[in-house]
Structure 1
Amino acid sequence: MEWFHQLLQPATLALLIPIVAIIGTFGNKALKAHHEHVERLAKINQGIDPDRE
């Protein structure tokens, strides 16, 4: 449990919070792009032209 106590120190949190925020933002954008790609492929497989919408 010593590692957890050390993790909660203000100096560690000051570095950890921005890193987690940046990784979370890029992860969210990547998942959104992947979801849009899957939806586009599904429309193409159904015979719908996704560029006409």
Structure 2
Amino acid sequence: MMEWFFHLLQPGTLALLIPILAIIGVFGNKALKAHHKHVERLAKINQGIDPDRE
């Protein structure tokens, strides 16, 4: 039943899985930061503030 989980915990599988998850995490973090910055920029524009003057 939980054989897949024990297979994930094998050193060979973890050696491949950890770097892949780290790369996905870094790109996901950068994407979220870019999205947040974009949303803030749109909010400033909607309030009549020129975001490029700052």
What root-mean-square deviation, in Å, do the aligned CA atoms of Structure 1 and Structure 2 show? 0.3
- Gapped regions of structure 1 (runs ≥ 5): none
Deviations 1:12-42 (A, max 9, x none): 0000000000000000000000000000000
Q: Which amino acid is the alignment partner of residue 8 of structure 1? A: L
Give the structure-2-normalised TM-score: 0.97
**Which residue number in structure 2 is paired with residue 9 of structure 1?**
10
The reply to whether residue 19 of structure 1 matches residue 26 of structure 2 is no
Alignment length (residue pairs): 53
Give the structure-1-normalised TM-score: 0.99
The runs of 4+ residues in structure 1 deviating greater than 4 Å are none
1:9, CA displacement in angstroms?
0.2
1:46, CA displacement in angstroms?
0.2
Distance 1:19 1:33 in 2: 21
- Gapped regions of structure 2 (runs ≥ 5): none
Question: In percent, how many aligned pairs have the same letter?
Answer: 89
